[in-house]
Amino acid sequence: MGERVGIEVSLAASEAIKMANVDVVAAYPITPQTHIVEHLSQLVADGELDAEFIPVESEHSAMSVCCGSSAVGARTFTCTSSQGLALMNEIVFIAASLRLPIVMLLANRSLSGPLSIWNDHSDVMSIRDCGWIQVFAENGQEVFDHVLFAFRVAEDAKVSLPVIVNIDGFVLTHMIEPLEFWDEDTVKKYLPDFKPVNQLHPDKPITMGAFGMPIIFTEAKKAQDEALIKSKTEILKAWKELGDLVGRYYQPVETNHLEGADTVFLTMGSIGETVSLAVNELRSRGKAVGQVKLRLWRPFPFEELREAVKGVKRIIVIDRAISFGGPGGPVASEIRAALYKERTMPAITNFICGLAGRDVTPDDYIKMYEKTEKMTKKKVREEDYIIYGVRE
């Protein structure tokens, strides 16, 4: 196995991208993604990474370049945050429909306004339905592992879809953590050379991105939906192989302290670790509390979620984004929908918290649990969502 080093997560991510031997990086710097792009630029300038680094004039151009380079068969990477993702939005959807296996690290940051550079999940939720495979990382090691995982899955001929790896801005990107690098042989074993399913090449001309009349559009969308759903098989395979090689086994839905739990927290991203501290504390007080973490956001892991919460009476879903005027946070809405057909559906309490980097500590999660416990006892009809900690 590779060596264990103390390194900022952004730099570690860049080193993983280097190990993936990427051909093209097209990105525009934006906080808090900046260190990743800066470091990649440095690696290319120093001759340590033999790739084209294309310093585009906007994120719209970044994603456009990525589509072009992926289409000719180059291993392609980009990275953005918040407003940058909003600006590349148009092309993000096109990349998925063209089935181009681009890899994006999304350093999650709130969408303006008020203008903010801090972490929440409003950026990724704005492109929830873009057709990319979307996963969340909880710590630096998971970011490193998932860079290599992302290329492996995206470029799998049975998948051929772009992948977003979500990493919480600052909380992960700017953290210095001890993490284990892979050695080169392991990377080689895990990540074969990129052989595109479709390739723009003068020897065999094809058209990508052609017009689709109403007579064919519905079929095109159905094919795209099926491709994303079916990608789960290869995703599971890639996680299994990753585990066999480096000893860390990832799952679409991961659990903690589920034994006998009647209430579980459901989280995505780095707050999973904070919640686990709260769960430990509550367990020590004799509360039957557990935790469910969604790693795979798209394709949504319906079966795994239903299996994980079987027998659970209440789920406390933590959202890091608001759906204005909607039924709750985006995660809670999907959890409710996913469990609606279950014979015994658990009650769902939805807290929206940690918006734009506001700290949420283990104590806060304990308070959320206590509030939920009180509501359960009183049998009140709950609000669809509670914005935790808002000053009234």
Partner 1 sequence: MIKSEEELTWKDLEVGCVVSDAGNARQYKTGDWRSLRPICDKTKCIKCGVCYIFCPDMAIRKTDEGYFEADLYYCKGCGICAQECITSCITMVEEEE
Task: Give yes or no for residue 338 binding partner 1 (CB under 8 A).
Answer: no
Task: Give yes or no for residue 197 binding partner 1 (CB under 8 A).
Answer: yes
Provide the minimum distance between the beta carbon of 231 and partner 1 in the complex, in angstroms, as a whole number.
12
Q: How far apart are CA 224 and CA 204, in angstroms?
A: 24
Count of chain residues binding partner 1 (CB under 8 A)? 24
Any residues with CB less than 8 A from the CB of 97 and at least 6 apart, and which? 131, 220, 224
Binding test (CB under 8 A) with partner 1, winner from 207, 260, 285, 379 = 207
Binding test (CB under 8 A) with partner 1, winner from 176, 223, 229, 390 = 223
Q: How far is CA 6 from the centre of its chain?
A: 23
Site for partner 1 in 41-100 (CB under 8 A): 97-100
Provide the minimum distance between the beta carbon of 2 and partner 1 in the complex, in angstroms, as a whole number.
35
Task: Give yes or no for residue 102 binding partner 1 (CB under 8 A).
Answer: no
Q: How far apart are CA 309 and CA 107, in angstroms?
A: 29
Choose one: 148-156, 174-182, 211-219, 315-323; the region binding partner 1 (CB under 8 A): 211-219
What backbone torsions phi and psi does residue 300 show, to the nearest 5 degrees?
A: -65, 130
Provide the minimum distance between the beta carbon of 102 and partner 1 in the complex, in angstroms, as a whole number.
13
**Ordered DSSP codes for 306-372:** HHHTTT-SEEEEEESS--TTSSS-HHHHHHHHHHTTSSSPPEEEEEE--GGG----HHHHHHHHHHH
Contact (Cβ atoms closer than 8 angstroms) between residue 62 and residue 88: yes
CA dihedral 248, 252, 255, 259 (to 10 degrees): -110
Closest CB to partner 1 among residues 133, 332: 133
Closest CB to partner 1 among residues 131, 290: 131
Choose one: 6-14, 135-143, 206-214, 286-294; the region binding partner 1 (CB under 8 A): 206-214
Binding test (CB under 8 A) with partner 1, winner from 42, 61, 186, 198 = 198
Binding test (CB under 8 A) with partner 1, winner from 185, 219, 244, 363 = 219
Q: What size, in residues, is the chain? A: 392
Task: Give yes or no for residue 380 binding partner 1 (CB under 8 A).
Answer: no
Task: Give yes or no for residue 208 binding partner 1 (CB under 8 A).
Answer: yes
Provide the minimum distance between the beta carbon of 162 and partner 1 in the complex, in angstroms, as a whole number.
11
Q: How far apart are CA 82 and CA 124, in angstroms?
A: 8
Task: Give yes or no for residue 234 binding partner 1 (CB under 8 A).
Answer: no
What backbone torsions phi and psi does residue 277 show, to the nearest 5 degrees?
A: -65, -40
Q: How far apart are CA 165 and CA 143, in angstroms?
A: 8
Provide the minimum distance between the beta carbon of 98 and partner 1 in the complex, in angstroms, as a whole number.
5
Task: Give yes or no for residue 205 binding partner 1 (CB under 8 A).
Answer: yes
Provide the minimum distance between the beta carbon of 196 and partner 1 in the complex, in angstroms, as a whole number.
10
Contact (Cβ atoms closer than 8 angstroms) between residue 67 and residue 91: yes
Residue ranges binding partner 1 (CB under 8 A): 97-100, 160, 197-198, 204-208, 210, 212-213, 215-216, 218-220, 222-223, 226-227
